[in-house]
Amino acid sequence: MSDNVYFEPPSRLQLVDKLAHLVRFSNTFLVLAGPAGAGVSTTLEQLHLQIGDDDAYVLALELKGNTNLKALLKLLNGAMDELLTPTEEDDTDQLSALHQKLESLAKFERKLLISIDNANYLSDEGIE
């Protein structure tokens, strides 16, 4: 038998189903956390696939190192530019630019899932 064969445990599949249901039918702030190697990244990838393009827009961010509020806003605005036509924005007011993009996206009447992998790299300011 090959070592490359991997079977997803039923408990993780049930978790992905529950998370997808919450994303589709509620306006809930979800936090999925676990120690390194627990499968959080894999669960997020499966959630993104299950949500698909029809149910919600998915902004998937993966943090590689310490990330403060300014860097987080820059990442979010960059990801939003992939969904919408990029607009000229003032670097000093990234938060207002993000609000404008979110309002533009609301016109499409689809949910937005912002997924931040490795969120433990967020500074206290970025978490607030």
Task: Measure the CA–CA gap between 71 and 126, rounded to whole angstroms.
Answer: 9
The per-residue pLDDT for 92 is 56
DSSP state of 92: G
Determine the residue type at 49.
L
Burial class for 54, CB neighbours closer than 10 Å (0-12, 13-18, 19+): exposed
- Global confidence as pTM: 0.76
* In contact, 15 and 9? CB cutoff 8 Å: no
- Identify the pLDDT of residue 5: 58
Specify whether the CB–CB gap between 59 and 112 falls below 8 A.
Answer: yes
Report the pLDDT value the prediction gives residue 68, as an integer from 0 to 100: 94
- Regions of the chain with pLDDT less than 70: 1-9, 53, 87-92
